[in-house]
Amino acid sequence: MSQETSSHMDPTESWHSFTEWSDKSVGLTWKITRMIESVTTPYQRIDLFDTVGDGKLLVHDNAVMLSERFESQYHDALVHSAMLACPNPRRVLIIGGGDGGTLREVLRHSEVEVACQVEIDAEVVRIAKDHLPTMAIAYDDPRADLIIGDGMKFVGDAEPASWDVILIDSTDPIGPAAPLFEEPFYNDIKAALTDDGVMATQVACPTFYADYFITLVKRLETIFSMVRPYTSPVQMYPSGVWGFAVASKGQDLVQIDEKRAALIEESTTNWTRETHKASFAMPNWLRRRLG
Protein backbone atom coordinates (compact mmCIF):
# COMPACT_ATOMS: atom_id res chain seq x y z
CA MET A 1 0.00 0.00 0.00
CA SER A 2 2.39 2.68 -1.12
CA GLN A 3 1.36 6.27 -1.40
CA GLU A 4 3.45 9.16 -2.49
CA THR A 5 2.74 12.62 -3.76
CA SER A 6 3.71 13.56 -7.26
CA SER A 7 3.08 17.19 -7.87
CA HIS A 8 4.00 19.09 -10.97
CA MET A 9 2.83 22.29 -12.57
CA ASP A 10 1.22 21.88 -15.95
CA PRO A 11 2.87 24.45 -18.27
CA THR A 12 -0.36 25.33 -20.10
CA GLU A 13 -2.97 25.25 -17.37
CA SER A 14 -2.98 26.42 -13.79
CA TRP A 15 -3.30 23.20 -11.90
CA HIS A 16 -0.99 20.84 -10.11
CA SER A 17 -1.58 17.17 -9.81
CA PHE A 18 -1.80 14.87 -6.86
CA THR A 19 -1.51 11.14 -7.36
CA GLU A 20 -2.33 8.41 -4.89
CA TRP A 21 -0.36 5.39 -6.04
CA SER A 22 -2.25 2.13 -5.72
CA ASP A 23 0.75 -0.05 -6.49
CA LYS A 24 3.98 0.12 -8.45
CA SER A 25 2.40 1.16 -11.73
CA VAL A 26 -1.13 2.42 -11.17
CA GLY A 27 -2.30 5.61 -9.52
CA LEU A 28 -5.30 7.89 -9.31
CA THR A 29 -4.51 11.48 -10.25
CA TRP A 30 -6.43 14.62 -9.35
CA LYS A 31 -6.15 18.07 -10.91
CA ILE A 32 -5.51 20.43 -7.99
CA THR A 33 -6.14 24.16 -8.25
CA ARG A 34 -4.82 25.14 -4.82
CA MET A 35 -3.80 23.86 -1.44
CA ILE A 36 -6.27 25.11 1.14
CA GLU A 37 -4.47 23.76 4.20
CA SER A 38 -1.64 21.46 5.09
CA VAL A 39 -1.18 20.60 8.75
CA THR A 40 0.94 18.07 10.54
CA THR A 41 -0.68 16.78 13.70
CA PRO A 42 0.69 14.27 16.23
CA TYR A 43 -1.15 11.61 14.21
CA GLN A 44 -0.72 12.42 10.52
CA ARG A 45 -0.22 15.02 7.81
CA ILE A 46 -3.52 16.39 6.61
CA ASP A 47 -3.77 18.14 3.25
CA LEU A 48 -6.90 19.81 1.96
CA PHE A 49 -6.87 20.67 -1.74
CA ASP A 50 -9.34 22.22 -4.14
CA THR A 51 -9.74 20.30 -7.39
CA VAL A 52 -10.72 21.36 -10.90
CA GLY A 53 -13.97 19.40 -10.90
CA ASP A 54 -14.47 17.31 -7.78
CA GLY A 55 -14.68 19.90 -5.03
CA LYS A 56 -12.39 19.70 -2.06
CA LEU A 57 -10.08 16.74 -1.60
CA LEU A 58 -9.02 15.61 1.90
CA VAL A 59 -5.78 13.63 2.05
CA HIS A 60 -4.15 12.02 5.11
CA ASP A 61 -0.52 10.94 4.75
CA ASN A 62 -0.91 10.91 0.96
CA ALA A 63 -3.98 8.66 1.00
CA VAL A 64 -7.26 10.16 -0.22
CA MET A 65 -9.90 10.25 2.48
CA LEU A 66 -12.59 11.94 0.47
CA SER A 67 -13.55 14.24 -2.34
CA GLU A 68 -16.71 16.28 -2.00
CA ARG A 69 -17.98 14.79 -5.24
CA PHE A 70 -17.65 11.13 -4.31
CA GLU A 71 -17.66 10.96 -0.49
CA SER A 72 -21.23 9.70 -0.28
CA GLN A 73 -20.29 6.51 -2.15
CA TYR A 74 -18.04 5.52 0.74
CA HIS A 75 -20.18 6.82 3.58
CA ASP A 76 -23.36 5.18 2.26
CA ALA A 77 -21.52 1.89 1.85
CA LEU A 78 -20.03 1.89 5.35
CA VAL A 79 -23.21 2.88 7.15
CA HIS A 80 -26.54 1.72 5.77
CA SER A 81 -26.17 -2.04 5.46
CA ALA A 82 -24.97 -2.31 9.07
CA MET A 83 -27.64 0.05 10.37
CA LEU A 84 -30.42 -1.84 8.59
CA ALA A 85 -29.14 -5.28 9.62
CA CYS A 86 -29.46 -4.19 13.26
CA PRO A 87 -33.10 -4.47 14.36
CA ASN A 88 -33.13 -1.34 16.53
CA PRO A 89 -30.00 0.83 16.21
CA ARG A 90 -30.64 3.26 19.07
CA ARG A 91 -27.03 3.65 20.22
CA VAL A 92 -24.41 4.00 17.51
CA LEU A 93 -20.67 4.40 18.01
CA ILE A 94 -18.36 5.68 15.28
CA ILE A 95 -14.61 5.28 15.62
CA GLY A 96 -12.67 7.75 13.45
CA GLY A 97 -14.58 9.50 10.68
CA GLY A 98 -13.86 12.99 12.01
CA ASP A 99 -15.02 14.61 8.77
CA GLY A 100 -18.64 13.86 9.79
CA GLY A 101 -19.71 11.97 6.63
CA THR A 102 -20.35 8.69 8.42
CA LEU A 103 -22.19 10.51 11.20
CA ARG A 104 -24.40 12.28 8.65
CA GLU A 105 -25.49 8.94 7.17
CA VAL A 106 -26.06 7.36 10.61
CA LEU A 107 -28.35 10.24 11.57
CA ARG A 108 -30.66 9.50 8.62
CA HIS A 109 -31.94 6.57 10.69
CA SER A 110 -34.78 7.75 12.90
CA GLU A 111 -34.21 4.97 15.48
CA VAL A 112 -30.91 6.60 16.50
CA GLU A 113 -31.00 8.20 19.93
CA VAL A 114 -27.25 8.68 20.41
CA ALA A 115 -24.55 8.74 17.75
CA CYS A 116 -21.25 8.96 19.54
CA GLN A 117 -18.23 9.82 17.45
CA VAL A 118 -14.75 9.18 18.84
CA GLU A 119 -12.07 10.82 16.71
CA ILE A 120 -8.46 10.88 17.85
CA ASP A 121 -7.38 13.89 15.79
CA ALA A 122 -9.16 17.17 16.63
CA GLU A 123 -7.70 18.75 13.50
CA VAL A 124 -9.79 16.50 11.23
CA VAL A 125 -12.95 17.78 12.88
CA ARG A 126 -11.72 21.38 12.80
CA ILE A 127 -10.90 21.17 9.08
CA ALA A 128 -14.29 19.62 8.33
CA LYS A 129 -16.08 22.33 10.31
CA ASP A 130 -14.09 25.05 8.51
CA HIS A 131 -14.24 23.66 4.97
CA LEU A 132 -16.54 20.65 4.51
CA PRO A 133 -19.99 21.88 5.53
CA THR A 134 -21.97 19.10 3.82
CA MET A 135 -20.38 16.60 6.19
CA ALA A 136 -19.66 18.68 9.31
CA ILE A 137 -23.32 19.73 9.44
CA ALA A 138 -23.94 16.39 11.12
CA TYR A 139 -22.30 17.73 14.31
CA ASP A 140 -25.20 20.17 14.74
CA ASP A 141 -27.66 17.31 15.31
CA PRO A 142 -28.58 17.04 19.00
CA ARG A 143 -28.16 13.24 18.84
CA ALA A 144 -24.47 13.64 17.91
CA ASP A 145 -21.95 13.35 20.72
CA LEU A 146 -18.40 14.16 19.61
CA ILE A 147 -15.50 12.93 21.73
CA ILE A 148 -11.92 13.77 20.83
CA GLY A 149 -10.02 10.78 22.11
CA ASP A 150 -8.61 7.35 21.52
CA GLY A 151 -11.28 5.11 19.99
CA MET A 152 -9.43 1.94 20.96
CA LYS A 153 -9.39 2.90 24.60
CA PHE A 154 -13.01 4.06 24.40
CA VAL A 155 -14.17 0.68 23.08
CA GLY A 156 -11.94 -1.16 25.57
CA ASP A 157 -13.53 0.77 28.45
CA ALA A 158 -17.11 0.51 27.12
CA GLU A 159 -19.80 -1.23 29.20
CA PRO A 160 -20.45 -4.72 27.87
CA ALA A 161 -23.34 -4.88 25.37
CA SER A 162 -23.76 -1.11 25.36
CA TRP A 163 -23.75 -0.27 21.65
CA ASP A 164 -26.16 -1.44 18.91
CA VAL A 165 -23.95 -0.53 15.98
CA ILE A 166 -20.21 0.19 15.89
CA LEU A 167 -18.72 1.65 12.70
CA ILE A 168 -14.99 1.94 12.14
CA ASP A 169 -14.21 4.74 9.71
CA SER A 170 -10.44 4.68 9.89
CA THR A 171 -7.44 5.17 7.65
CA ASP A 172 -5.79 2.10 6.11
CA PRO A 173 -4.55 -1.01 7.94
CA ILE A 174 -0.97 0.15 7.61
CA GLY A 175 0.36 3.08 9.64
CA PRO A 176 -1.17 4.59 12.75
CA ALA A 177 -4.59 2.93 12.36
CA ALA A 178 -3.17 -0.63 12.18
CA PRO A 179 -4.34 -1.57 15.73
CA LEU A 180 -7.92 -0.82 14.65
CA PHE A 181 -7.69 -3.89 12.39
CA GLU A 182 -6.30 -6.31 14.97
CA GLU A 183 -7.79 -9.03 17.20
CA PRO A 184 -7.71 -7.18 20.55
CA PHE A 185 -9.77 -4.31 19.14
CA TYR A 186 -12.19 -6.65 17.35
CA ASN A 187 -12.65 -8.58 20.62
CA ASP A 188 -13.41 -5.35 22.47
CA ILE A 189 -15.93 -4.40 19.79
CA LYS A 190 -17.64 -7.76 20.14
CA ALA A 191 -17.90 -7.29 23.91
CA ALA A 192 -19.27 -3.75 23.51
CA LEU A 193 -21.97 -4.81 21.03
CA THR A 194 -25.48 -5.79 22.10
CA ASP A 195 -26.55 -9.37 21.28
CA ASP A 196 -28.25 -8.27 18.06
CA GLY A 197 -25.64 -5.57 17.40
CA VAL A 198 -23.72 -5.12 14.15
CA MET A 199 -20.29 -3.74 13.36
CA ALA A 200 -18.93 -2.51 10.02
CA THR A 201 -15.45 -1.54 8.95
CA GLN A 202 -13.56 -0.70 5.79
CA VAL A 203 -11.16 -3.52 4.84
CA ALA A 204 -9.12 -1.91 2.01
CA CYS A 205 -9.23 -2.43 -1.73
CA PRO A 206 -10.19 -5.98 -2.77
CA THR A 207 -7.94 -5.97 -5.83
CA PHE A 208 -4.80 -3.91 -5.21
CA TYR A 209 -4.75 -4.87 -1.52
CA ALA A 210 -6.34 -8.30 -1.81
CA ASP A 211 -4.05 -9.79 0.82
CA TYR A 212 -5.19 -7.21 3.37
CA PHE A 213 -8.84 -7.64 2.38
CA ILE A 214 -8.68 -11.43 2.76
CA THR A 215 -6.62 -11.39 5.96
CA LEU A 216 -8.96 -8.91 7.61
CA VAL A 217 -12.11 -10.82 6.66
CA LYS A 218 -10.60 -14.08 7.94
CA ARG A 219 -9.50 -12.36 11.13
CA LEU A 220 -13.04 -11.09 11.73
CA GLU A 221 -14.30 -14.64 11.14
CA THR A 222 -12.19 -15.93 14.03
CA ILE A 223 -13.98 -13.52 16.38
CA PHE A 224 -17.55 -12.92 15.17
CA SER A 225 -20.02 -15.73 14.40
CA MET A 226 -21.40 -13.91 11.36
CA VAL A 227 -19.16 -12.00 8.92
CA ARG A 228 -20.03 -10.79 5.44
CA PRO A 229 -17.46 -9.03 3.27
CA TYR A 230 -18.85 -6.70 0.64
CA THR A 231 -17.63 -4.20 -1.90
CA SER A 232 -18.90 -0.95 -3.30
CA PRO A 233 -17.91 1.45 -6.06
CA VAL A 234 -15.90 4.25 -4.43
CA GLN A 235 -14.37 6.25 -7.23
CA MET A 236 -12.06 8.34 -5.06
CA TYR A 237 -10.04 5.34 -3.75
CA PRO A 238 -7.51 3.06 -5.50
CA SER A 239 -9.20 0.98 -8.23
CA GLY A 240 -12.57 2.66 -7.70
CA VAL A 241 -13.87 -0.37 -5.77
CA TRP A 242 -13.52 -0.54 -2.01
CA GLY A 243 -13.90 -3.38 0.48
CA PHE A 244 -15.98 -3.46 3.65
CA ALA A 245 -17.17 -6.06 6.12
CA VAL A 246 -20.15 -6.33 8.43
CA ALA A 247 -20.00 -8.66 11.42
CA SER A 248 -22.24 -9.71 14.30
CA LYS A 249 -22.63 -12.19 17.15
CA GLY A 250 -25.36 -13.97 15.20
CA GLN A 251 -27.65 -11.27 13.85
CA ASP A 252 -28.39 -11.87 10.14
CA LEU A 253 -26.40 -9.44 7.99
CA VAL A 254 -28.03 -9.86 4.60
CA GLN A 255 -31.77 -9.78 5.39
CA ILE A 256 -32.69 -6.23 6.26
CA ASP A 257 -35.93 -4.61 7.35
CA GLU A 258 -37.73 -3.75 4.08
CA LYS A 259 -39.80 -0.94 5.57
CA ARG A 260 -36.86 0.84 7.17
CA ALA A 261 -34.74 0.26 4.05
CA ALA A 262 -37.41 1.80 1.79
CA LEU A 263 -37.48 4.89 4.01
CA ILE A 264 -33.70 5.26 3.97
CA GLU A 265 -33.66 4.86 0.20
CA GLU A 266 -35.76 8.03 -0.08
CA SER A 267 -32.85 10.19 1.04
CA THR A 268 -29.58 8.40 0.19
CA THR A 269 -27.42 9.39 -2.77
CA ASN A 270 -26.23 5.85 -3.57
CA TRP A 271 -27.47 3.12 -1.23
CA THR A 272 -30.54 1.13 -2.29
CA ARG A 273 -31.85 -2.35 -1.48
CA GLU A 274 -30.47 -3.37 -4.87
CA THR A 275 -26.96 -2.07 -4.18
CA HIS A 276 -27.13 -3.80 -0.78
CA LYS A 277 -27.85 -7.20 -2.39
CA ALA A 278 -25.29 -6.71 -5.13
CA SER A 279 -22.56 -5.63 -2.71
CA PHE A 280 -22.12 -9.18 -1.36
CA ALA A 281 -21.28 -10.61 -4.81
CA MET A 282 -17.59 -11.52 -5.11
CA PRO A 283 -15.57 -12.36 -8.20
CA ASN A 284 -14.71 -16.06 -8.38
CA TRP A 285 -10.99 -15.76 -7.57
CA LEU A 286 -11.77 -13.77 -4.46
CA ARG A 287 -14.57 -16.13 -3.40
CA ARG A 288 -12.12 -19.03 -3.66
CA ARG A 289 -9.49 -17.24 -1.62
CA LEU A 290 -12.00 -16.28 1.04
CA GLY A 291 -12.82 -20.01 1.32
Q: Is 130 a catalytic residue?
A: no
- Contacts with ligand AG3 by CB under 6 A: the residue count is 15
Can residue 238 be called a binding residue for ligand AG3 (CB under 6 A)? yes
Question: Quick one: which of 97, 171, 100 has its CA closest to 131?
Answer: 100
Nearest distance in Å: CB 75, ligand AG3: 6
Nearest distance in Å: CB 242, ligand AG3: 7
Instruction: Compare residues 20 and 121 and give the one whose CB is closer to ligand AG3.
Output: 20
Nearest distance in Å: CB 86, ligand AG3: 20
Can residue 237 be called a binding residue for ligand AG3 (CB under 6 A)? yes
Instruction: Compare residues 120 and 249 and give the one whose CB is closer to ligand AG3.
Output: 120
Can residue 66 be called a binding residue for ligand AG3 (CB under 6 A)? yes
Can residue 173 be called a binding residue for ligand AG3 (CB under 6 A)? no
Can residue 169 be called a binding residue for ligand AG3 (CB under 6 A)? yes
Out of 47, 68, 76, 99, the residue judged to bind ligand AG3 by CB under 6 A: 99
Q: What secondary structure does DSSP assign to the chain, as a single string? A: --------B-SSSS-EEEEEESSSS-EEEEEEEEEEEEEE-SS-EEEEEEESSS-EEEEETTEEEEETTTHHHHHHHHHHHHHHHSS---EEEEEE-TTSHHHHHHTTSTT-SEEEEEES-HHHHHHHHHH-HHHHGGGGSTTEEEEES-HHHHHHHSPTT-EEEEEEE-S-SSGGGGGGGSHHHHHHHHHHEEEEEEEEEE---TTTTHHHHHHHHHHHHHH-SEEEEEEEE-TTSGGGEEEEEEEESS--SS---HHHHHHHHTT-SS--HHHHHHHT---HHHHHHH-
Nearest distance in Å: CB 125, ligand AG3: 11
Nearest distance in Å: CB 34, ligand AG3: 21
Length of the chain: 291
Can residue 174 be called a binding residue for ligand AG3 (CB under 6 A)? no
Can residue 64 be called a binding residue for ligand AG3 (CB under 6 A)? yes
User: Cα–Cα–Cα angle for 139, 141, 144, nearest 5°?
Assistant: 65
Out of 102, 207, 251, 279, the residue judged to bind ligand AG3 by CB under 6 A: 102
Residue in 54, 76, 121, 169 annotated catalytic: 169
Among the listed ranges 47-55, 103-111, 164-172, 270-278, the one in contact with ligand AG3 (CB under 6 A) is 164-172
Out of 172, 180, 190, 232, the residue judged to bind ligand AG3 by CB under 6 A: 172
Those residues whose C-beta lies under 8 Å from the C-beta of residue 17, and which sit 6 or more positions away, are: 6, 7, 8, 10, 29, 30, 31, 32
Can residue 63 be called a binding residue for ligand AG3 (CB under 6 A)? yes
Can residue 54 be called a binding residue for ligand AG3 (CB under 6 A)? no
Looking at the annotation, which residues are catalytic? 169
* Site residues for ligand AG3 per CB under 6 A: 20, 63-66, 97, 99, 101-102, 169, 171-172, 202, 237-238
